[in-house]
Amino acid sequence: MPTRKSYAVGGGINSLPSWREIETTFSGIIIAPQNLAGADGLLWTPPTVTGTLYAVWFRLVNGAGVVQTITLGQDVGAVGGLGVGEYWLSAEPVNHGVWPWDGPFHVPGEDTVRGLNVGGAGNVITITMRAVQLW
């Protein structure tokens, strides 16, 4: 089941980056911004290496003038869809504007990140993701 973990942040040994570092000087994996479509879609495939684990953060931007509803999560085993226990957000309303960074979420190397704009209103939700390989 996908989980959000608590870590030390902000530059200590074995720590994950702070929110400011994610936004400005992040040196991990930067996943290009993309639009969430009205159908379930693949957003990120980590390097498929069994035994690796990534910490993933995301930020959403709703460019529509109205609330949009999205679903986002970790596709365990990369089977091609999201099911019970895989959701980070499930039918979550997203107000107009920019969300703060959310995470970290654990994603093993053999899983993927998927999502969709449930309302499907013309790809008006943009997601930006960052990842760090933990091991």
Q: Which residue has the tokens 């290009």?
A: 32
Tell me the pLDDT of the chain averaged across its residues: 82
The residue type at 72: L
Q: Is the pLDDT higher at 24 or at 3?
A: 24
Candidates 31, 42, 104; CA nearest to 78 is: 42
Q: Bridge partners of 125?
A: 62
pLDDT number for residue 8: 42
Q: What is the mean pLDDT of residues 105-127?
A: 85
- Count other C-beta atoms under 10 Å from residue 120's C-beta: 15
The pTM for the full model equals 0.81
- Residues 24, 2: Cα–Cα separation, whole Å: 27
- Under DSSP, the state recorded for 2 is -
> Is residue 128 scored above 90 in pLDDT?
yes
Three-point CA angle 53, 54, 56, nearest 5°:
150
**Secondary structure of 20-51 as H, E, C letters:** HHHHCCCCCEEEEEEECCCCCEEEECCCCCCC
Residue 81 has pLDDT above 90, yes or no: no
Give the pLDDT confidence score for residue 53 in this predicted structure: 92
Contact 88, 76 (CB under 8 A): no
- What architecture does CATH give domain 19-133? Sandwich (2.60)
